[in-house]
Structure 1
Amino acid sequence: MALSSDRQSQRPPSTVTDREGRTVTVSTYAGDADPLVEMYAHFDDESRSQGLPPRGEARQRQWLDGLLEDGLNVVVWHRDDAVGHAVLIPYDDTAELAIFVRPAYQLAGIGTALIRCLLGHGQANGVDHVWLTVARTNRIAMNLYRSAGFETTARERGEHEMDRQL
């Protein structure tokens, strides 16, 4: 299945071919932090936004332990490597979205497949409303979120808050 930019949510698992011709699989994830720590080791300062992912393995493991325990997680796999990770973190009657794609896999449509599957996974688990914050200078991410149906609801200190109903 080729990638498209429509707003449809899709329940994982899903196998897609990205714009670079790589076949990847998007699936729910409830495993340990090891494959994600390996993925986050490839993030340099330019690949971080809003302080995430944290620097250093110990801080990453602590952060990931919380996400894996409390959140709804989806991971993109290329062969045996995690190359994308997204999570919905529940808060009362809503959930915060965070998404990360390994730098070498960015701009290939993997974020689109990842967010589509994450929203489908959230919907299947009773999530009705999703929100996120994004640096206003991160135009690529903002375009991804808009293509997934998010709308800007607030602008503060260089960040935009965006949300959507599922």
Structure 2
Amino acid sequence: MAAAQRTSLPRPPKTFTDREERTISIREYDGQLEPLQEMYAHFDDDSRTQGLPPRSENRTVEWLSDLLEEGLNVVARHEGDVVGHAVLIPYDSTSELAIFVRPAYQSAGIGTHLIGCLLGHGQANGLTRVWLTVARTNRIAMNLYRSAGFEITERDRGEYEMERAL
């Protein structure tokens, strides 16, 4: 079964049409900070969860610099603009997953493709387990993670921890 799982994970690059009929491409990130900064500038308080992305530009730059240096990053682009970002951050013997889709592009299927490509990219780089935390109230994200094969492993405070093998 694990071998079938390995072959089923897509890897970047990938191009698809989202539910709004937009052509979206997913690629490994080239490391340039500015396009990501521009995407995160579109997040208002209602679009943030668990304190992320940071509110101030300085904290966002610091946070993104760490993600780009430490993690495996993939981005979704539409007409050249970054509209989604997902990262696997090394943590002990696993990696933590974080994903963000620009608010105007949410609920169009981009997150599903972005997570799939990120997991495939992680698998290609030798990762075997991935985990994440999600607010209990974030039902849309929880459904996305479940559809990507994540299972709840811990319930704590207002969050769930979820995990899956690659």
TM bucket normalised to smaller: over 0.9
- Unmatched tracts of structure 1, length 5 or more: 1-7
What is the identity, as a one-letter code, of the residue corresponding to 1:131? W
Offset at residue 124 of structure 1 (A): 0.2
Offset at residue 30 of structure 1 (A): 3.1
Offset at residue 33 of structure 1 (A): 1.1
The 2-side partners of 1:17 and 1:50 are apart by 30
Q: Which residue of 2 aligns with 1:107?
A: 107
Q: Which residue of 2 aligns with 1:133?
A: 133
What is the identity, as a one-letter code, of the residue corresponding to 2:162? M
TM-score by length of 2: 0.94
Aligned length: 159
Match runs of 1:32-47 below 5 Å: 32-47=32-47
Offset at residue 119 of structure 1 (A): 0.2
- Unmatched tracts of structure 2, length 5 or more: 1-7
The 1-side partners of 2:31 and 2:71 are apart by 12
Structure with the bigger percentage of helix: 2
The 2-side partners of 1:61 and 1:86 are apart by 16
1:64 aligns with 2:64: yes
SS in 2 for 1:76: strand
The 1-side partners of 2:137 and 2:91 are apart by 26
- Alignment deviations for residues 134-162 of structure 1 (CA, whole Å, 9 cap, x no partner): 00000000000000000000011110000
Offset at residue 93 of structure 1 (A): 1.3
1:151 aligns with 2:151: yes
Offset at residue 92 of structure 1 (A): 2.2
The 1-side partners of 2:155 and 2:25 are apart by 34
- Alignment deviations for residues 110-138 of structure 1 (CA, whole Å, 9 cap, x no partner): 00000000000000000100000000000
Contact 1:154 1:160 (8 Å CA) reproduced: yes
Contact 1:71 1:89 (8 Å CA) reproduced: yes
Q: Which residue of 1 aligns with 2:54?
A: 54
Q: Percent identity between the aligned chains?
A: 72
The 2-side partners of 1:92 and 1:132 are apart by 13
The 1-side partners of 2:75 and 2:156 are apart by 30
TM-score by length of 1: 0.94
- Alignment deviations for residues 30-82 of structure 1 (CA, whole Å, 9 cap, x no partner): 32210000000000001000000001211100000000000000000001100
What is the identity, as a one-letter code, of the residue corresponding to 1:135? A
Q: Which residue of 1 aligns with 2:28?
A: 28
Offset at residue 25 of structure 1 (A): 0.2
1:118 aligns with 2:125: no
Aligned CA RMSD, in angstroms, stands at: 0.6
Contact 1:30 1:68 (8 Å CA) reproduced: no
Q: Which residue of 2 aligns with 1:73?
A: 73
The 1-side partners of 2:60 and 2:34 are apart by 10
The 2-side partners of 1:108 and 1:128 are apart by 28
